[in-house]
Structure 1
Amino acid sequence: GLDGASWRVLEPAVRQGHMPYLASLVDAGCSGVLTSTTPPKTPAAWSSFQTGKNPGKTGVYDFERWNRKTRTSDYVSSESLGVTLWDCLGQAGKRIAVINVPMTYPARPVSGVLITGLLTPNLNSRFIYPPDLREALLEHVPDYHIFNLRNTARTGSARRIHPFVTRLQEIVDSRARAAAFVFQREQADVAMVHFQATDVLQHAFWPMLCPDHERYDPETHELLCAAFYGFLDERLRRVCQAFVQGRADPVLTLVVSDHGFQTHHQRVRLGKWLVQKGYLSIRAGARPLPWLRRRLRRLDGSVARRFFERTAVGRRLDRFRRRPTFRMDFDHSRVFSFGRGCDGYLFFLEDDPAARQATQEQIRKDLMGLVDSRTGRPVVQEICPREAIYSGPRLADLPDWILRPAEGYSFTGNYEDGVRGLFAAVRFGRDFHAGMHHPEGVLIAAGPGVRCGRVEDARLWDVAPTVLAWLGLPVPEDMDGRVLQGLFTQPLTVQTARPEAPAVPTESSDTATYSPADVQDIEQRLRDLGYIE
């Protein structure tokens, strides 16, 4: 799994000779676009990948899930996914090795080895199964960690390219060494290794990778392709070589990404817009020194970040400045939004159906009339009611509407106190997310029975049933994905089976997963990665 891998980057890197191993897979097999979820967010996408189900059945759309009853949010976890691909493989007697895949924490008992990925709090948590493998892993790969950028400047500035890429190389290498260690101990029938670093690099340096961007620099593009993508390609080769070593039977190799990438120009402050239009009401909170908080929040340079992260006084001030100086007045609000991702989430709060419908009709007109005053461009590409795009028993956990922004725009759902204007320009070198997610990811398949050519109309949740069918195993009837027959020279025989476990976890599945200290670790990591402020 290459998180965020995009053909916009991989094709030039392959063509220029920086990724010979990936090129060999493309030349020998079948490849194409792998369409992500809406929104194309890491938790939603990898949840659908692992389950073969749409978000209406997983209930996952972002890193957090907002609870309409309590009006609070909790971080999502593997506890809410129900039966996954790994469970299906284990029930069929197959051994697995899964390393660093998002949405696998906490590590559930599997037939084999599982090392969890993003949203794992730390290495003292339930990040590995079997748990007694922890010491051996850390002894063999002492620099293994979940994902740590705290000692690397979070900036896309050209002068920071070398230390940033070096740090990502170290992370990629530790993943590859961990995989080799696991493969030596576990003769797995199916293995997956996930690399987060592709997503991180493209967020920070997308302007250097996209020829259409005004800040594009061919020399820096070449440097990144050689130093990072070439390095990654060699580690991919080593991982695959370690897996096939000693095997007599041919192996099916899949390369998948959860989404692609595009240029990020403007953030739209959706929460602020809701307040201005009267849909969302806020009240001043009883927080002291609001003026000091606002000033501290504006400190965002590399020196300020080091102060806030590395000193005791700085950490206390950081907690102080992040506390809101207001509170939501839900009793007098009609619409709520939250999050800081590509897409906008809207929750309608009115209980009366007629009032809710009137609000929806009004806000639809207002949203479609929302334009960027600088360019006159509409910022909302599409309004997606949840029932129009998804279905399933967890549909009620999703936002009522998901807003797809126009190209180059993103939505900040959270209301931010003390900020000016509805729009915030994304400045390369200051905003860590100079690149943003795009729904078109990557799929490459190579191996026995795979035809040469292109695959069309592949979706992320099609991968799980395809893997099961290739292995000759039944596909659970509640999987939404279809077997990608277009990958193969001969159609696969598809058997179906009734699910062996309840598909709907309890509402409290995620709430007891993380302690307050765990939440602090997760939020720091997401902050380092630019997903939250």
Structure 2
Amino acid sequence: MARAAVIGLDGAAWHLIDPLIEAGVMPRLAALRDRGAWGTLRSTVPTYTPPAWTSAVTGVNPGRHGIYGFQFGNIQDEPVELMHAGKVKAPTLWDMTRAQGVRVGAYNIPLTYPPQPVDGWMVAGMMTPGFGERQRGFAYPAELTQRIERWAPGYVIDLSANYETDWRDAELCRRGLASIEQRYVVLERLLQDDPVDVVFSVMEAPDRLQHVYYRYLDPSDELYDTAAAKRIRPEVETCFAALDRVVGLLGDWAGPDGGAIVCSDHGFTAWLVTVRTNALLAEWGYMRTRPTARLMRTKLARAMVPVAKRVLSRRIARQAKGHTFKAIDWSRTRAFASNIPQQGVHVNVKGRERFGIVEAAEIDAVRDELIARFEELRGPDGKPVTDVVHKREDVLSGSELERAPDLFPVLRDHTYELDDEIFHHERFTNVADLPRGVHHPDGIVIVAGAGVEAGGRIEGTVMDVTPTLLYQAGLDVPTGLDGEVLRGAFSPSHLDANPITWTEPPARSGDGEDSPYSAEEEEQIEDALRGLGYL
């Protein structure tokens, strides 16, 4: 077998990476692309970190692995649970390598807390609790936690960002650079001290930087040439130069005869408008609120929401969010917005939802009515805004389909972000005066290594990452995955000489679905998610 590595750059997009390559900021990434096949990697529906990276490490769609966002369930569920590794319903890469007797390194992948026992090592990523000295048990073997803290004192598990405030200066860049440099140190030591055969790593910094500074980074954006952009952009580029060193580290580790995949879980675009989904549903007669909710619909009350997010304690903010949804009159509500990261709409179905009223026989009719409403929807400019409304069964499949939103509207190529607040009369809120960004389905992929046709162009989905990684390592690919080996990356002669071999799917590992978080840890994680606008 050969060494093989995934170098995950969360949120990376070619229209942002290309200018960095042209400016000489990322020479190691450029070199990999030059000797590899490359193209667009399509994300999941919904286009968010938890379902997308989970699809990348399982090779299956969210309807099979069951991860749709950062929280389990929807707003009718009490208590709302945070997602964690035990909620993943499908076998992961480390299950597949274990079944074939291969050592694996899993580094900084979202939703890998609590870390699973593996033949190799695992360092948990996003959704891991604790900061600084309060961090605990974020690595396997257990003693690896202390070793990491010695190698990188003050080790940051997940770079936090606040989209409400961080765009005003470059402090996020400075914190981001420090965390990337820690990642390099830790990965270098792990690869040297504890050899493995396969590595899957994720760098979260691109996502955080682009959420906050996106419109300063996109050459086609009207904010690109502003004074603020010219001040911030060099500091962002310093972060990407540090990320390029990580790309080089893992590319060198894999070697010319090994395999290297650079990929992202999704791309990015400008955040121009917030869509008040529940306000639309209320206007259309599908959602009703109690009379007390009217007190929060004044202009002053709504203006205080961003301030409250910044100054209220985590616990009070969490309780306030819960109280807002109690203002919904569920006895007269036929549809409601999903949690923000799911970017969808739930039909309030009797027997499925806790306060459901819509009969099963009426689901299709309600969905068709809502699709028609979205298709007729006009934006602030008077033009249509809806690109498509996906029915869940058209983009998802599997045993976990029932927990997905019924509909996934896509508006203005994702520059219109759906919201789940309820205290709004307006359909839309214009946020185009700020430089922030949101997720787009078009991510990046590079496949380099033995048998790859240099300069080839490929297209795929995040579900193709693990099958392709296994193939490059010379391992068997489990049957029945939704993803495929990216055959287009390899020469026909290589595929003929090295045919894909298959194996039965392994058993899923994990410690069960019970939450591993204390109440305080949940608050810490929710605070970080709130800063990114995910809650």
TM-score normalised by structure 1 residue count: 0.87
Q: How far apart, in 1, do the equivalents of 2:246 and 2:368 lie?
A: 55
Q: How far apart, in 1, do the equivalents of 2:76 and 2:322 lie?
A: 23
1:524 aligns with 2:532: no
Structure 1 position 291, deviation (Å): 9.5
State the match for 2:409 in structure 1. Answer: 403
State the match for 1:440 in structure 2. Answer: 442
Structure 1 position 251, deviation (Å): 2.7
CA contact (8 A) 1:2 1:255 kept: yes
Choose the corresponding residue for 1:22, options 6, 29, 35. Answer: 29
CA contact (8 A) 2:54 2:67 kept: yes
State the match for 2:479 in structure 1. Answer: 477
CA contact (8 A) 1:384 1:403 kept: yes
CA contact (8 A) 1:183 1:243 kept: no
**Aligned pairs (5 A) from 1:49-128:** 49-66=56-73, 70=77, 73-81=80-88, 82-122=90-130, 124-128=135-139
Structure 1 position 335, deviation (Å): 1.2
CA contact (8 A) 2:314 2:527 kept: no
Deviates more, 1:199-208 or 1:343-352: 343-352
Structure 1 position 14, deviation (Å): 0.5
Deviates more, 1:509-518 or 1:315-324: 315-324
CA contact (8 A) 1:338 1:415 kept: no
Deviations 1:26-58 (A, max 9, x none): 112111111111121111100100000011111
Deviations 1:375-405 (A, max 9, x none): 1122221111111122112211211222222
1:454 aligns with 2:456: yes
State the match for 1:311 in structure 2. Answer: none
User: Which residue type is aligned with residue 525 of structure 2?
Assistant: I
**Aligned pairs (5 A) from 1:263-274:** 263-274=270-281
Structure 1 position 457, deviation (Å): 2.5
Q: How far apart, in 2, do the equivalents of 1:381 and 1:66 lie?
A: 26
Choose the corresponding residue for 1:426, options 428, 431, 448. Answer: 431
1:183 aligns with 2:186: no
User: Which residue type is aligned with residue 216 of structure 1?
Assistant: Y
Where does the alignment leave 5 or more consecutive residues of structure 2 unmatched? Answer: 1-7, 351-357
User: Which residue type is aligned with residue 139 of structure 1?
Assistant: R
Q: How far apart, in 2, do the equivalents of 1:107 and 1:457 lie?
A: 32
Pairwise CA RMSD? 3.2
1:367 aligns with 2:370: no
- Identify if the C-alpha distance between structure 1 residues 499 and 208 changes in structure 2 by more than 3 Å, giving closer, same or farther: same
Structure 1 position 286, deviation (Å): 10
Structure 1 position 138, deviation (Å): 0.8
1:39 aligns with 2:46: yes
Count how many residue pairs are aligned between Structure 1 and Structure 2.
Answer: 512
- Identify if the C-alpha distance between structure 1 residues 315 and 268 changes in structure 2 by more than 3 Å, giving closer, same or farther: closer
CA contact (8 A) 2:256 2:449 kept: no
Structure 1 position 73, deviation (Å): 3.7
Q: How far apart, in 1, do the equivalents of 2:340 and 2:317 lie?
A: 19
User: Which residue type is aligned with residue 425 of structure 1?
Assistant: N
Deviations 1:59-79 (A, max 9, x none): 222212316985764222221
Structure 1 position 224, deviation (Å): 5.6
State the match for 2:334 in structure 1. Answer: 334
1:170 aligns with 2:170: no
Deviates more, 1:348-357 or 1:88-97: 348-357
CA contact (8 A) 1:76 1:510 kept: no
User: Which residue type is aligned with residue 458 of structure 2?
Assistant: E
Structure 1 position 242, deviation (Å): 6.8
User: Which residue type is aligned with residue 427 of structure 2?
Assistant: L
Structure 1 position 454, deviation (Å): 2.9
State the match for 1:494 in structure 2. Answer: 500
Q: How far apart, in 1, do the equivalents of 2:504 and 2:455 lie?
A: 34
Where does the alignment leave 5 or more consecutive residues of structure 1 unmatched? Answer: 309-313
Give the 3-state SS of the residue equivalent to 1:156 in structure 2: helix
Choose the corresponding residue for 1:237, options 245, 252, 257. Answer: 245
State the match for 1:154 in structure 2. Answer: 165
- Identify if the C-alpha distance between structure 1 residues 140 and 216 changes in structure 2 by more than 3 Å, giving closer, same or farther: same
State the match for 1:280 in structure 2. Answer: 287
State the match for 2:4 in structure 1. Answer: none
User: Which residue type is aligned with residue 369 of structure 1?
Assistant: E
- Identify if the C-alpha distance between structure 1 residues 378 and 184 changes in structure 2 by more than 3 Å, giving closer, same or farther: same
Choose the corresponding residue for 2:383, options 354, 377, 381. Answer: 377
CA contact (8 A) 1:180 1:239 kept: no
CA contact (8 A) 1:179 1:239 kept: no
Give the 3-state SS of the residue equivalent to 1:383 in structure 2: strand
CA contact (8 A) 1:3 1:259 kept: yes
Choose the corresponding residue for 1:134, options 138, 142, 145. Answer: 145
Choose the corresponding residue for 2:156, options 123, 145, 155. Answer: 145
Q: How far apart, in 2, do the equivalents of 1:306 and 1:277 lie?
A: 32
